[in-house]
């Protein structure tokens, strides 16, 4: 679809897909967790929009700067998405614990807040795929 790699396109696609996932969370969270306040819902919307932008930006880096190892999109994007949600889990552990306990019960298989890490990795993988397909990757995406 796009012939010239573009960092702007990568970021726009990442933010768009992240916004869609954030909007899904914004709209459905009250059904899964009725105690969810508006701040949590807005936070989810903005978090996934930001996650998409970060995955888009990191499409420029195709080699590890120190180890000189290749970083293909299918490794880089889930790593970033998973890491971002891992950090989020540390900051909002209690809220995420309450959400998942309400959804799956206190002894449920998926009651650990760290399941958000795998969610971030999957969303990052999807964002990385679409951003790379339509926006390119590597140094050529920032060359004018």
Label each residue of 39-55 as H, E or C. HHHHHHHHHHHHHHHHH
* DSSP tag of 142: T
Q: What is the pLDDT of residue 143?
A: 66
Mean pLDDT by groups of 10 residues along the chain of 144 residues: 76 96 95 90 95 93 86 94 95 90 84 91 96 85 68
H-type helices in the chain, by residue range?
A: 7-32, 38-57, 73-91, 93-104, 115-135
Q: What is the pLDDT of residue 20?
A: 97
Residue 4: count of CB within 10 angstroms of its CB: 10
Domain ranges of the chain: 7-141
Q: What is the pLDDT of residue 144?
A: 58
């Amino acid at each position: 679809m796009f012939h010239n790699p573009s960092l702007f396109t990568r970021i726009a696609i990442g933010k768009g897909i992240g916004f869609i996932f954030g909007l899904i969370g914004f709209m459905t969270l009250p059904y899964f967790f009725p105690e969810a306040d508006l701040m949590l819902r807005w936070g989810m919307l903005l978090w996934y929009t930001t996650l998409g932008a970060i995955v888009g930006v990191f499409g420029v880096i195709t080699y590890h700067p120190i180890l000189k190892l290749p970083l293909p999109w299918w490794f880089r994007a889930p790593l970033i998405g998973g890491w971002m949600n891992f950090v989020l889990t540390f900051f909002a552990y209690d809220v995420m614990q309450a959400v998942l306990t309400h959804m799956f019960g206190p002894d449920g298989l998926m009651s650990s807040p760290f399941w958000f890490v795998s969610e971030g990795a999957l969303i990052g993988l999807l964002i990385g795929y679409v951003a790379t397909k339509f926006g390119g990757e590597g140094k050529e995406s920032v060359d004018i």
